[in-house]
Amino acid sequence: MHGILTIILLTAAAGACIPIGGYIASRTRIQQHWLDEELRHSIISLGAGILLGAVAIVLAPDALEHLNHSPWSILLLLSGGGIFYYLEKYLDIHRRSAPQLTGMLLDYIPESLALGGIAASGADTTLLLAVLIGLQNLPEGFNAFKELTDTGRSANKVLMMMLALVPLGPLFGLAGYTFLGEQNEILGSIMLIASGGILYLIFQDIAPQIPIRKHRGPPLGAVIGFAIAMLGSVLSQY
């Protein structure tokens, strides 16, 4: 029972960062257009750095351990990129493309599933992964809010939609905790497929939005984001 409560609290807290990020975006009003754009692009970059850090420091290394460093791991990573490629292609054809929202959902759900499985297996990286999910959900919620309101959706409706996404974390976290704790191969496969998809989204949708002409500061957010992920890994060793 203690483990179930822990996974509910961790995934709910990580998911709550989505509407919190959206709320911050709804209250952020900068008069100077160039400064507003630089802030937005910097936050996009920060989210990309944290996502990359989550893959490099937690998801991929843990997945390789679960799969005993099998050569099949490479195919799983590549298949994740392929799956996300075709999903984005489908969304684009049907004019439903929203890169920030898509990226947020496509990493939040499998990461929550993996978090539940990692918690059930007793791994030391459970709390670290939960913190990274929350940290990446904050800038992703911020950017998704801006993305959706720019298309004409009302701020209140976007925030309500983001609140509705929060329960997905505990739902998939409990599924992972219940069914994946002893299924190392399945858990590792999910983590690698998610990693491949996240890498695809970073370089296809998120990274191209970072640069601004004559402004070189925003890409530093990616370095800061990766450093945050690394700091979490370092602190987890103490």
* pLDDT score of 1: 53
- CA-to-CA distance for 234 and 66, rounded, in angstroms? 21
* DSSP secondary structure code for residue 207 in this structure: G
Q: How is residue 71 written in tokens? A: 């050569």
Q: Give the predicted TM-score (pTM) of the model.
A: 0.75
Domain that includes residue 48, residue range: 1-25+34-236
- CA-to-CA distance for 16 and 208, rounded, in angstroms? 27
Q: How is residue 14 written in tokens? A: 């990580």
Q: How is residue 209 written in tokens? A: 């939005």
Directed axis angle between helix 33-54 and helix 126-150, to 10°? 150
pLDDT in tens, the chain (238 residues): 567 888 889 999 999 999 998 888 887 765 555 455 667 677 777 777 777 877 887 788 888 888 888 888 888 888 888 888 888 777 665 555 566 676 677 678 888 888 888 888 776 778 888 888 888 888 888 888 887 887 778 889 989 988 998 999 999 999 888 887 778 888 888 888 888 888 787 777 666 555 555 555 555 555 565 566 556 655 655 5
> Comparing C-alpha atoms, which of 127, 109, 108, 131 is closest to residue 118?
127
Instruction: Indicate the number of domains in the chain.
Output: 1
Report which residue type is found at 63: A
Other Cβ atoms closer than 10 A to 89: 11
Given a contact cutoff of 8 angstroms between Cβ atoms, the answer to whether 17 and 134 are in contact is yes
* pLDDT score of 31: 52
> Comparing C-alpha atoms, which of 184, 180, 209, 199 is closest to residue 77?
199
- Positive or negative: CA dihedral 84, 85, 86, 90: positive
